[in-house]
Amino acid sequence: MSTMKKKIKISIQGASGYTGGELIRLLLNHPLCEIVSVSSNFNSGKKISDIHNDLVGDSDLIFSKEIDKNVDVIYLCSGHGKSSAFLKSTKIDKEVRIIDLSQDFRVDNLFEDRVFEYGLPEINKSNILNSNNIANPGCFATAIQLGVLPLISANSNSKEIHTHAITGSTGAGLKLTQTSHFSWRNNNVSWYKPFTHQHLNEVYKTIEKKYNINFIPIRGNFSRGIFCTSYIKTDLDIDFIYKIYFDYYKDHPFTVVSNEEIHLKQVINTNKCLIHLKKVEGKILITSIIDNLIKGASGQAIQNMNLMFGLDETTGLKLKSSIF
């Protein structure tokens, strides 16, 4: 474990959205980080607290058009398709570490002379420790993979996985659309992109398409969180399956397997993934839940940074859930 005293200098590109705002909040409270600059095309010149109102009194940072590139880490938070465009137009020293929160490098992980490591610590920690560039996983992909990977690693006898996951409105991003508007979301539920959601691409890269995932994403009428249920046919005994999961995650502090049923409020405002298992008539039901903005985005990005710099991966991420 590192005993470093010098603070990690950080710039955040595209910091006015949900993930950028969450990243700022977490990094301001990280004991070994200093945010040097934050950028926003539309809010340049404004205080970050003008946009992220909960930060009044916490920071005097001002949004700029361009970020300071003379830092240790650059977080890219501008959204899908924009990270690759930014890197094409911006010269960044090879020694500067990049953590991308878009989907640009999750599947095709090469960009010019940079190799982006897939940043799911529970399966890729050893590679992350030695990487300079991270492709942060998608929120659905995180919840699905953490739920099913231990079982399929034990060679479950079924190649079909059925998954439903309901997500809060923040998963759709800050830009207002009809289906993220309060009057549409309130008292409403709907599916979207059935069987074709883009996060499946990174899941299939992990499992090498040995399984078929029948995934139905669902829009929920709440702000944040993902409640994911997957079921797989298996002949394995429930006690043996629990042992598989406990062993799989024993060295991963943020993924916790619970013998008791779980609910979404247990993970909101935390970097945790909670998992529960139930066996019914030859099927195993796997429930995996995360906060889509933290373990599904900004918190996991900081977890990856901690590993890259040799810190305890929980540094700055020991957060309490908003249970009430």
- Is the pLDDT at 27 greater than 90, yes or no? yes
Of the candidates 225, 219, 139, the one whose C-alpha atom is nearest the C-alpha of residue 181 is 219
Mean pLDDT of 250-259: 98
Q: Is residue 3 in a domain? A: no
- Is the pLDDT at 1 greater than 80, yes or no? no
Same domain, 182 and 74: no
Same domain, 123 and 208: no
Same domain, 160 and 61: no
Beta strands in 96-209 (DSSP E): 97-100, 110-111, 114-115, 117-118, 133-135, 160-167, 190-191
Same domain, 157 and 276: yes
Number of independent structural domains in the chain: 2
CATH number for the domain including 173? 3.30.360.10
C-alpha R_g of the chain: 19
Same domain, 224 and 248: yes
Q: Is residue 50 in a domain? A: yes
Same domain, 205 and 87: no
pLDDT reported for residue 171: 73
Q: Is residue 313 in a domain? A: no
Same domain, 23 and 71: yes
Mean pLDDT of 160-168: 95
**In which band, very low, low, confident or very high, does the pLDDT at 324 lie, cut at 50, 70 and 90?**
confident
Question: Rounded to an integer, what distance in angstroms lies between the CA atom of residue 163 and that of residue 151?
Answer: 14
pLDDT reported for residue 17: 87
Q: State the angle between helix axes of 139-153 and 121-129 in degrees (0 to 180), rounded to the nearest 10.
A: 100
pLDDT reported for residue 279: 96
Check if the beta carbon of residue 65 is closer than 8 Å to that of residue 45.
Answer: no
Could you report the per-residue pLDDT of 255-307, keeping only the tens digit for each?
999 999 999 999 999 999 999 999 999 999 999 999 999 999 999 999 999 99
Same domain, 100 and 206: no
- Is the pLDDT at 64 greater than 90, yes or no? yes
Q: Is residue 68 in a domain? A: yes
Q: Is residue 1 in a domain? A: no
Instruction: Specify the 3-state DSSP secondary structure of 242.
Output: helix
Q: Is residue 320 in a domain? A: no
Could you report the per-residue pLDDT of 80-126, keeping only the tens digit for each?
888 998 999 999 999 999 999 999 999 999 998 899 999 999 999 99
pLDDT reported for residue 183: 78
pLDDT reported for residue 16: 87
- In whole numbers, what is the pLDDT of the chain averaged over residues? 92
Same domain, 149 and 68: no
pLDDT reported for residue 213: 95
Give me the catalytic one of 77, 139, 228, 273. Answer: 139
Could you report the per-residue pLDDT of 218-236, keeping only the tens digit for each?
999 998 999 999 999 999 9
- Is the pLDDT at 3 greater than 70, yes or no? no
Question: Rounded to an integer, what distance in angstroms lies between the CA atom of residue 266 and that of residue 260?
Answer: 12
Q: Is residue 233 in a domain? A: yes
**% of the chain beyond a pLDDT of 90:** 79
pLDDT reported for residue 185: 80
DSSP 221: S
pLDDT reported for residue 209: 76
pLDDT reported for residue 315: 98
Q: Is residue 319 in a domain? A: no
pLDDT reported for residue 8: 98
CATH number for the domain including 19? 3.40.50.720
Same domain, 20 and 91: yes
Same domain, 95 and 231: no
Q: Is 228 a catalytic residue?
A: no
Same domain, 89 and 180: no
**Domain around 304:** 8-135+295-308
Mean pLDDT of 153-178: 81
